[in-house]
Structure 1
Amino acid sequence: MSRPGEPSSDRVLTVPNLLSFLRIALIPLFVALIVDRDTTFSGLLLFAGVAWTDWIDGFLARRLGQVSELGKILDPMADRLAMGAGLVALALRGAFPWWAAGAILVRDAAVLCAGVGLFWRRRVRLDVRPIGKVATFSLMAAVTWISWGNLGYALDDAALTLGWVSFAAGIIEYYVAAGLYLGDLRRALAEAA
């Protein structure tokens, strides 16, 4: 989310941070809606809305000059929590395949463990890379469209096609980003030693 030379603050109560907190707060609601067959449609729409606010909070942080140290941690954390919870709920509901959910969750777990380990040992935080943001958006869109199609809603064939194309692009971007993060991790460890 940050760019080189971009000012950052220790402020907590910023519009982007409030949006990230809201995304996290909405996770139990969209999960409950998704797993209930009578409200799956509403849950899927809420999941898509939570995914969309990921872009909005980053845009507002830069536009309003509200990039914060908390936001640099909170935004990707909200992404991972929303994506993970949404994947599990949609897979439990039978709307998203477990193998595809696993491909996303394994990568997230590896990057999360490496990032937390680095921060814990050296107090170093890796910046989010633009390709990581693009990959997250691609995969959140893919999860929404594939689930939409598998649930048989209107234009289900088009949704499935769009979803799988987005998934293919997103999963490649996701693992390329993971490789770049691991390179960043190695450099950060070498510099901190």
Structure 2
Amino acid sequence: MSTDQGSGARDEPRRVPQVVPVRDEWLTVPNVLSVLRVAGVPVFLWLILAHQDGWALIVLMLSGITDYLDGKIARRFGLISRVGQYLDPIADRLYIVSTLFGLGWREIIPWWLVAVLVLRDAFIAAMYPVARYYRLPAPPVHFVGKAATFNLVYAFPLVLLGYGDSWLTAVAQPVGWAFVWWGTVLYWIGAVMYAVQVADMVAQRRRQWGAVQAP
């Protein structure tokens, strides 16, 4: 019997994880979609303040579709860019903040909920000077943060849809508020995890600087 039994499996080349390069150019299809999402924010805010709920929901749905498409296209065709890595979360935050303001202004959601979610973003923003001082890269986006954004982006259209007299109200309202509470909790959990990531990177950077300055 041959002593090389099973060697074929050992000789097979190992699969190397594919690393998707991050491009520097800004004029790509995903980035154009993200810009269109950002441009739709003031349109959505005006519609919701003008009580044009139907059109506001359409703008939100289009935003959700373009949000899905820009990520899908970027990953499928290798069009992930540095600009897109900033534009996409900025568009998400702008829609969340504008929706909070509009729904709070119309008293569809309480202002204390608006404050809780806005304070979370202020908590994250407070770390930027620290990250800049220590020249830290942006921490990788965690699944919890993505899940929180998903919940909130899809929660408020349902809450708005539940604010009315249609037959959909009975279904949309409880489902929408469930997404609101899940998203709020995950939003803050993601912020705490982000703070822990930043603290770990600061500690590593201090050790690096200490090693360089050591005699």
Q: Shorter chain as normaliser: what TM range?
A: 0.7 to 0.9
CA RMSD of aligned residues (A): 2.0
Counterpart for residue 120 of structure 1: 132
Residues 62-141 of structure 1 correspond to what in structure 2 (within 5 A)?
62-114=75-127, 116-123=128-135, 124-141=137-154
Deviation, structure 1 residue 119? 4.1
1:7 is the counterpart of 2:39: no
1:25 is the counterpart of 2:21: no
Judging changes above 3 Å, is the alpha-carbon distance between structure 1 residues 100 and 45 closer, same or farther for their aligned structure 2 residues? farther
Q: Distance in 2 between matches of 1:59 and 1:134?
A: 17
Judging changes above 3 Å, is the alpha-carbon distance between structure 1 residues 20 and 150 closer, same or farther for their aligned structure 2 residues? same
Give the structure with the higher percent helix: 1
Q: Is 2:131–2:198's contact at 8 Å kept on the other side of the alignment?
A: no
Judging changes above 3 Å, is the alpha-carbon distance between structure 1 residues 176 and 100 closer, same or farther for their aligned structure 2 residues? same
Deviation, structure 1 residue 10? 0.6
Give the number of aligned pairs.
189
In terms of mean alpha carbon deviation, does 89-98 or 128-137 score higher? 89-98
Letter in 1 for 2:204: E
Q: Distance in 1 between matches of 2:115 and 2:164?
A: 20
The percentage of counterpart residues that share the same residue type is 33
Q: Is 2:92–2:153's contact at 8 Å kept on the other side of the alignment?
A: no
Letter in 2 for 1:117: P
Higher relative contact order (CA 8 A, sep 6+): 1
Q: Is 1:44–1:144's contact at 8 Å kept on the other side of the alignment?
A: yes
Q: Distance in 2 between matches of 1:57 and 1:26?
A: 15
Counterpart for residue 184 of structure 2: 171
Letter in 1 for 2:35: F
Where do 5+ consecutive residues of structure 1 fail to align? none
Q: Distance in 2 between matches of 1:58 and 1:186?
A: 29
Letter in 2 for 1:100: L
Residues 150-161 of structure 1 correspond to what in structure 2 (within 5 A)?
150-161=163-174
Q: Is 2:104–2:114's contact at 8 Å kept on the other side of the alignment?
A: yes
Deviation, structure 1 residue 181? 0.5
Q: Distance in 2 between matches of 1:165 and 1:146?
A: 10
Any runs of at least 4 consecutive aligned residues in structure 1 with deviations exceeding 6 A, and if so which?
none
Deviation, structure 1 residue 140? 1.3
Judging changes above 3 Å, is the alpha-carbon distance between structure 1 residues 95 and 153 closer, same or farther for their aligned structure 2 residues? farther
Counterpart for residue 49 of structure 2: 35
Where do 5+ consecutive residues of structure 2 fail to align? 1-16, 207-215
Q: Is 1:95–1:151's contact at 8 Å kept on the other side of the alignment?
A: no
Deviation, structure 1 residue 85? 1.2
Q: TM-score, normalised by structure 2?
A: 0.80
Letter in 2 for 1:91: G
Deviation, structure 1 residue 4? 9.2
